[in-house]
Amino acid sequence: MTKIDSKIPAGPLAEKWTHYKEHQNLVNPANKRKIDIIVIGTGLAGGAAAASLGELGFNVKVFCIQDSPRRAHSIAAQGGINAAKNYPNDGDTVYRLFYDTIKGGDYRAREANVYRLAEVSNNIIDQCVAQGVPFAREYSGYLANRSFGGALVSRTFYARGQTGQQLLLGAYGALSKEIKRGSVKLYTRREMLDLVVTGEGKARGVIVRNLFTGEIERYGAHAVLLATGGYGNVYFLSTNAMTSNGSAAWRAYKRGAWFANPCYVQIHPTCIPVHGSYQSKLTLMSESLRNDGRIWVPKNKEDIEKVRSGALKPKDIPEENRDYYLERRYPAFGNLVPRDVASRAAKERCDAGYGVGNTGLAVYLDFKDAIDRLGKEVIKARYGNLFDMYERIVDDNPYETPMMIYPAIHYSMGGLWVDYELQSNIPGLFVGGEANFSDHGANRLGASALMQGLSDGYFVLPYTMQNYLADQITVGAIPTNTPEFDAAEKAVKDRIQKLMSVNGTETVDALHKRLGLIMWDHVGMARNKEGLEKAIKDIQALRKEFWEKVRVPGSPDGINIELEKALRLADFLELGELMARDALHREESAGGHFREEFQTPEGEALRNDKDYMYVGAWEYTGDDKEPKLNKEELKYENIEVKTRNYKTA
Amino acid sequence: MDLKLKIWRQAGPTAKGQFVDYDVHNISSDASFLEMIDILNDELVEKGEDPVAFDHDCREGICGMCSMFINGHPHGPEKATTTCQLHMRKFKDGETITVEPWRAKPFPVIKDLIVDRSAFDEIIQAGGYTSATTGGVPDANAIPINKENAELAMDAAACIGCGACVAACKNASAMLFVSAKVSQFALLPQGKVEAKDRVKEMVAKMDELGFGNCTNTYACEAECPKEISITNIARLNRQFIGAKLG
Amino acid sequence: MSNKPYYSSITKKIVMSLMGLFLLTFLVVHLALNSLILFNKEWFNEGAHFMGTNWFIQVFQWVLFGGFALHIVFGVILQIKNWLSRPKGYKRRAAMEQSPFSKYMIYTGIIILIFLVIHLGNFFFVKMGWIGGMPLTASGGEDMGQLVINLFQHGGYVAFYVVMILLMGFHLDHAFQSAFQTLGLNHATYWNFINGLGRAYAIVVTLGFVIIPLFIYFKIV
């Protein structure tokens, strides 16, 4: 087993980051303009990093898959962003945010990274306010907070149900400012299809496809930052955007970067249930709804039948016949347990036959008590836009009848392995935001994704990348006419040619849906050995079928949406297998990874800290060869490792 | 549901486009409009034809990527709804649905229903931000902001930059988009520092890019999926006059 | 931003709206004067005489022409830019405008301009002695009132005049609130009032101009 150096600075936890900054290498202002940096992705992490690096004076090339940086999927985050400001005076501290995040992640995240995240969380709020992000405010004119799952304090800042949008527009503004200034060059409608690694093993560029012209383009730089988000779309149905994909990370993996903890995916408990086979995506209902909504299912199966036949309305089921199962099982946290716990509890009820709706795969999220207590106007002010969205999609009025919700794939905690500096094992390749594995362990708490993205982008990468770039100032411009670039470009073109020439009978989406079902059934909310082994076989067979039967019409020149999707699916078909492998090897239940064989008698997740308290970082060894597992041991020196308990405080 | 579709097909930016008729069958009324187009595209791909190219991404009404001029309205006839959140239950069985791209000189058609909206990014680059750089900013609570102004700023900031206002406006004016950004910052103390330059630069860029002039018809407000108010346009005008006068 | 002289879209519109508001006030004065004829032809003639001889009014009428000219020139420039902004239109476009007459401002504007020329021909040019004769009063003065009454004896002319005034009313209906919006004077607390006032103005002025020829034609006065 390789000894992994995660470059955690020495010293007490609370001083590590300060210590790092005090001793790191810097690049002098005149030399910064000699350094090129490529940033892939313009979400919170990529956008913030590109803007901040540009401000410092580096030459930044930033790439986004959509027509504008402002469309990145960070925009869809609804609920909020955490910070340890303790404005409400309810006892929050940096340590408590750190503690909650580690505990919420089921003790599978790196202490030093998480502490730094909690530490800079306060700077993020300051920064965003300075950018003009219109956070919610109290009548005093000061910032408002609300509470989120997994915390006993109110530390979540929000901008209605559109926090991600507002934060992204803030970062996009900062980025636009730098584009105007000329320090950042923006490339839109580009998709990264390969990473270029030089003979000395350094990441020095990327191969991208121009989605408008179909041209394959090459770009060189002294360092590459991937901020390409998560891989939830491997399941086909998820709350991710349609173009969210795992290809950039996967291509980096195939060039030698380790992929860490791929089996940790988050299933969000409050999504609008699936309604049909033609469905293209799932819609999230913000976790903030659990502040005021109560989750329940009927106690009697007869009631469920009556509701289904229309003889009974859900709101007419009497109190004593309702099972508020989260409040029953977790009295201390109630409806605000972490997402993995809430999701599994919903699945448990539905599997037991108490699920509602036509499919039996839904539970109620009820606002009646909140409306009675606070009045409809207050609820409307808090969640009006979410209620409207629900009504548009489902055609039911949540003010009058309880919402129906069900868990759905939402976020991937796993991602490319990075050290304390957010640098992968390939020198010069940095990874930020959801694309890395770093801060959330096996489960992410609500309102922490935005925090991590912006922390990486504004306050971590601009420092740590400099530390790496300090000795690159003499290298000179990176040429792109090298054999490595030629080879990478050829590999991309060959892959495209191969896909175009299959000329089979199956559409990309049809195959993707089948992959999604395999993943959901066996690598979803509950996993077991047998299912995972079957999943690996099924995915391999499906991958073979894909390369024999996929149909990509048209030509690779110009816009070809089927080709784009096929390239992404080809990578998902490999990534899915790695996820299953990781899930199979991890013989414990932790956070988003729940192995049915490993649970307490009450059905709670059962960790195995003795054997699995490590980061599983997978190393590519060749197509159709088993990947190699590298383990980074996790040490908890500042926190007592316990079984997560949300029953008592 | 069975539907007849009249969809604008255009192979490339310089190609001559035309409407092509398609029939789709057995569409669930619970499907979204884009899912209906997905089904059509699946059929086209199976027949070996080029699927209809259209912009879309988050499919939950926030990224602003989806467009389409449906039955005479940007984002279709349902109020305050983006195309991706428009559901087929809003149409009648057997209905003929006309689908066109956004039409405006600064939004050239790239393919089929995809238009290039980078003009909006250029307008933002002209000044749609505060110039605060990372770090060195005061504590977030150092600047109390009147709740009413904060709410109004949020109302304006809710703009998703989809371009429906331009598509709806008979003059292809971008005033609602520009005014939303100008208003957000005009209402907040952080934005006041650069307010004068911001409004002048953004308006100049908007004019330069070839958007039309606002003639106060308010089609933009009626069609905006985020219901951005035309009072923002008045605020933009006020800001502009103030900036020019002093 | 370049330093060369540049009139932004908003600057042009502000000129449009200021000139528009100026013309709106002029119309009120014009209507007030016209309505004198309903009471007494002599009053009307005295009013006309005052307007025709007072030095301030004499100077001001050229300011008024200037206002018209600016309003028209800027309106046409803005409209051309607007047409150019959408080189290819929609096959199917619903009526989405919330100010219904706003779509036709250029057309109602052009019609008003044509009417203005004819109108000037009928009254102003006659008065200036450029075309045709002016009726005289018993004392030998100019009888503008009689000129008006003579003209409105022709049913066809009355109908033409009424239609033109109605079209002008449509123009005015949009004009009033539009000017306020362009000048940035739109606020939730008084916007409904401005809208209402604009509509009331359009209706009152239109009705005022319409009833005068009708009253004369049907000999109600």
Q: What is the pLDDT of residues B16-27, one digit of tens each?
A: 999 999 999 999
A490 lies in some domain: yes
Do B173 and B235 reside in the same domain of the chain?
yes
**pLDDT tens figures, A116-128:** 999 999 999 999 9
Average pLDDT over residues C193-220: 94
Phi, psi angles (nearest 5°) of residue B130:
-100, 150
| Average pLDDT over chain B, rounded to an integer | 97
Question: Given A68, A393, A554, which is nearest B161 (Cβ)?
Answer: A68
Check A126 against B137: CB less than 8 A apart: yes
Question: Which pLDDT belongs to residue A73?
Answer: 98
A291 inside domain: yes
Contact residues, B window 143-182, toward C, CB-based 8 Å cutoff: 168, 170-173
Among positive and negative, which fits the CA dihedral A309, A311, A316, A320? Answer: negative
Please tell me if residue B227 touches chain A, with a CB cutoff of 8 Å: no
| B129 and B16 in a common domain | no
Using CB atoms and an 8 Å cut-off, which of residues 61-120 of chain C contact chain B? 78, 81-82, 84-94, 96-99, 102-103, 105
% of chain A beyond a pLDDT of 70 = 99
pLDDT of C5 reads: 55
Check C92 against B72: CB less than 8 A apart. yes
What confidence score (pLDDT) does residue C220 get? Answer: 81
pLDDT category at A229 given cuts 50, 70, 90 is very high
Q: Is 80 exceeded by the pLDDT of residue A178? A: yes
Tell me: do B91 and B24 sit in the same domain. Answer: yes
B230/B151 same-domain check: yes
Q: Are residues B240 and B132 in the same domain?
A: yes
B58 at interface of A, judged by CB pairs closer than 8 A: yes
C interface test, pick of B21, B98, B171 with most C CB neighbours within 10 Å: B171
**Domain match, A622 and A502 both:** yes
Partners of C81 on chain B (C-beta within 8 Å) are: 171, 212-213
Q: Looking at residues A28-34, what average pLDDT do you find?
A: 94
Please state which of the ranges A567-571, C138-142, C146-150 shows the lowest mean pLDDT.
C138-142
Mean pLDDT of B3-26: 97
- β A415-416/A259-260 pair status: antiparallel
Cα separations in angstroms, A128 against A47, A77, B111, B130: 13, 16, 37, 10
- If asked whether residues A382 and A510 sit together in one domain, one would say no
Q: Give the CATH number, domain containing residue B69.
A: 3.10.20.30
CA closest to A188 among chain B residues: B118
Return the residue in B68, B170, B182 with the most chain C beta carbons within 10 A, the one to mutate for interface testing. Answer: B170
Q: For position C2, what pLDDT does the model report?
A: 45
So what's the pLDDT on residue A649? Answer: 62
Residues C32-76: tens digit of each pLDDT: 999 999 998 899 999 988 888 899 988 988 999 999 999 999 999
Regarding whether B177 and B139 lie in a shared domain, the answer is yes
- Put simply, the chain A residues between 185 and 224 with a CB less than 8 A from any chain B CB are 186, 188, 212
For C19, the 3-state DSSP assignment is helix
For residue A339, the domain's CATH number is 3.90.700.10
- Select from B50, B81, B140 the Cβ nearest to the Cβ of A129: B140
Q: Domain boundary at A410, A433, A463, which? A: A410
pLDDT given at position C1: 44
**For C181, nearest residue in chain B (alpha carbons):** B234
Render pLDDT for A179-214 as a digit per residue (tens, 0 to 9): 999 999 999 999 999 999 999 999 999 999 999 999
* B167 in the same domain as B75: no
B9 and B72: one domain? yes
Range of the domain at B209: 118-245
Yes or no, beta carbons of C187 and B234 under 8 Å apart:
yes
Neighbouring-strand partners of residue A108: none
In a domain, A393, yes or no: yes
Closest CB to C85: pick one of B72, B212, B241.
B212
The residue from A388, A410, A432 where one domain ends is A410
| Number of domains comprising chain B | 2
- Based on the domain organization, do B208 and B89 belong to the same domain? no
Residue C98 has pLDDT above 80, yes or no: yes
Across the interface, whether the CB atoms of B219 and C177 are under 8 A apart is answered no
Does residue A477 lie in a domain region?
A: no
Measured between beta carbons, the chain C residues lying within 8 angstroms of B100 are 90-92
Annotated catalytic residues of A are: 339
Whether residue A604 sits in one domain with residue A497: yes
- Nearest 5°: CA angle at B142, between B138 and B144? 135
Exposed/middle/buried for C107, CB within 10 Å: 0-12, 13-18, 19+? middle
Of chain C, the percentage scoring pLDDT greater than 70 comes to: 96
Each residue of C12-22: pLDDT tens digit?
A: 999 999 999 99
Sorted by where each starts, the structural domains of chain C and their CATH numbers stand as 9-84+102-217 (1.20.1300.10)
pLDDT tens for each residue of A481-533: 999 999 999 999 999 999 999 999 999 999 999 999 999 999 999 999 999 99
Q: By residue range, what is the domain housing residue A577? A: 483-633
Let me know the angle formed at the C-alpha of A21 by A16 and A26, rounded to the nearest 5 degrees: 150
Domain total in chain A = 2
Q: Does B148 touch chain A (CB under 8 A)?
A: no
Q: What is the CATH number of the domain that holds A509?
A: 1.20.58.100
**Considering only CB atoms, which chain C residues are within 8 Å of B171?**
81-82, 85-86
CA–CA gap between residue A69 and residue A73 (Å, rounded) = 10
CB-based contact B234 C86, cutoff 8 Å: no
- Angle of CA points A550, A555, A557, to nearest 5°: 135
Question: Which CATH number belongs to the domain containing residue B238 in this structure?
Answer: 1.10.1060.10
Between these two residues, A235 and A383, which has the higher pLDDT value?
A: A235
Question: Which amino acid does the sequence have at C85?
Answer: S
Tell me, yes or no, whether A428 lies in a domain.
no
> Could you say which of B111, B133, B161 is where a domain stops?
B111
Same domain? B130 vs B231: yes
Using a CB-CB distance cutoff of 8 angstroms, which residues of chain A are in contact with residue B1?
A: none
The predicted pLDDT at position B217 comes to: 95
pLDDT bin (cut points 50, 70, 90) of residue C136 is confident
C84 interaction partners in chain B (CB closer than 8 Å):
105, 210, 212
* Chain A residues near residue B134 by CB distance under 8 angstroms: 48, 51-52, 55, 127, 174, 458-459, 462
Distance CA A155, CA A139 (A): 18
Q: Does C94 contact B100 at a Cβ distance shorter than 8 Å?
A: no
Q: Is A50 inside any structural domain?
A: no
Q: What is the DSSP letter of B194?
A: T
Q: How far is C215 from chain B (nearest CA, A)?
A: 35
Give tens-digit pLDDT for A333-346.
Answer: 999 999 999 999 99
Q: Are residues B152 and B106 in the same domain?
A: no
Average pLDDT (A69-80) is 95
What confidence tens digit (pLDDT) does each residue in A121-160 have?
Answer: 999 999 999 999 999 999 999 999 998 888 899 999 999 8
Please indicate, yes or no, whether residues B94 and B139 belong to a single structural domain of this protein. no
What's the pLDDT score for residue A157?
97
Listed residues A378, A410, A442: the one ending a domain: A410
Average pLDDT over residues C133-153: 85
Alpha helices in A449-528 (DSSP H): 449-454, 461-469, 483-502, 508-522
A578 is a domain residue:
yes
pLDDT for A77 equals: 94
pLDDT in tens, A340-366: 999 999 999 999 999 999 899 999 999
Which one of C86, C101, C187 would you mutate to disrupt binding with B, by most B Cβ within 10 Å of its Cβ? C86
Report the residue of chain B nearest A394, measured CA to CA: B30
Residue A110 lies in a domain: no
DSSP secondary structure letters along C26-89 = HHHHHHHHHHHHHH-HHHHHHHHHHHHH-HHHHHHHHHHHHHHHHHHHHHHHHHHHHHHT-SS-
Q: Among B111, B145, B165, give the residue marking a domain's end.
A: B111
Mean pLDDT value across residues B132-156: 96
A403, A492: one domain: no
**A488/A619 same-domain check:** yes
